[in-house]
């Protein structure tokens, strides 16, 4: 987590720029969830073990981790697949495990890097809906870097970045978005 070059970044009312390395590590572990385009699940671990790993780092007991991990897998519709390893899951299922893992420590912020990038249209839409539910039901702020225009429908603000520079910021309600129905959907 880099310190801002200008302005301020607050997470749960804490100015990130004022934290030392230890405090930043604590913040990353407990206040920020991560969703990666390539899922980044540990291949030798089950879905449940992948979800509970951040909880272990945060100091939860194994019973607390297991119960909470199962609840999170149920939330993403994968409680029946808790003992499956990543290679036994579809891409969409792996991304749902990644979403559950991102919620493991009740983060204030979830950083999502191309969360629908490796998914088909239907599965990508399911992941977008999960992110919207996280925001609405848990108050989690979702910051997503994406090329997927479907993410616009669940965004409050859209920031365009070009060549590493902020080009513009627009409130979602001020955007004109044209949607079309895909045949068979």
Neighbours of 25 (CB within 10 A): 13
More confident site: 79 or 37: 79
| pTM for the model | 0.83
pLDDT value, residue 108: 92
pLDDT value, residue 109: 93
pLDDT value, residue 14: 92
| Residue 137 pLDDT > 70 | yes
pLDDT value, residue 183: 67
| Residue 64 pLDDT > 60 | yes
The whole-angstrom separation of Cα 96 and Cα 24 is: 27
Q: Which domains does the chain have, with CATH numbers?
A: 10-172 (3.40.50.300)
| Strand runs labelled E in 42-172 | 109-113, 141-145, 157-162, 165-171
- Among candidate residues 41, 149, 18, the one with its CA nearest the CA of residue 88: 41
The whole-angstrom separation of Cα 24 and Cα 26 is: 5
The arithmetic mean of pLDDT across residues 21-47, rounded, is 93
pLDDT value, residue 174: 86
- Among candidate residues 99, 94, 93, the one with its CA nearest the CA of residue 112: 99
Q: What is the pLDDT of residues 117-126, one digit of tens each?
A: 877 888 888 8
Q: What is the pLDDT of residues 77-132, one digit of tens each?
A: 899 999 999 999 999 999 999 999 999 999 999 999 988 887 788 888 888 888 88
Q: What is the pLDDT of residues 139-184, one digit of tens each?
A: 899 999 888 888 887 788 888 888 988 888 899 888 876 666 666 6
- Among candidate residues 37, 30, 54, 55, the one with its CA nearest the CA of residue 94: 37
Question: Can you tell me whether residue 115 is helix, strand or coil?
Answer: coil
The whole-angstrom separation of Cα 148 and Cα 88 is: 26
- Among candidate residues 54, 103, 53, the one with its CA nearest the CA of residue 74: 103
Longest Cα–Cα distance in the chain: 53
Tokens representing residue 178 in the block = 């044209």
Q: What is the pLDDT of residues 45-61, one digit of tens each?
A: 999 999 999 999 999 99
pLDDT value, residue 127: 84
Q: How far is CA 83 from CA 16, 44, 73, 127, in A?
A: 37, 11, 11, 21
pLDDT value, residue 185: 55
């Amino acid at each position: 987590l880099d310190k801002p070059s200008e302005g301020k970044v607050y997470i749960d009312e804490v100015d990130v720029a004022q934290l030392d390395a230890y405090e930043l590590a604590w913040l990353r572990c407990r206040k920020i969830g991560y969703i990666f385009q390539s899922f980044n699940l540990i291949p030798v671990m089950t879905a449940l073990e992948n979800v509970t790993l951040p909880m272990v780092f945060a100091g939860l007991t194994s019973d607390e981790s297991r119960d909470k991990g199962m609840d999170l897998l149920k939330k993403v519709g994968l409680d029946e697949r808790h003992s499956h390893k990543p290679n036994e899951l579809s891409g969409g299922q792996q991304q749902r495990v990644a979403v559950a893992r991102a919620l493991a420590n009740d983060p204030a912020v979830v950083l999502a890097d191309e969360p629908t990038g490796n998914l088909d249209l239907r599965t990508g839409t399911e992941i977008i809906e999960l992110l919207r539910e996280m925001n609405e039901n848990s108050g989690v702020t979702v910051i997503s870097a994406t090329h997927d225009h479907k993410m616009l429908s669940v965004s409050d603000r859209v920031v365009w970045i070009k060549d590493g520079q902020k080009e513009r910021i627009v409130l979602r309600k001020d955007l004109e978005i044209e949607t079309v129905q895909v045949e068979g959907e």
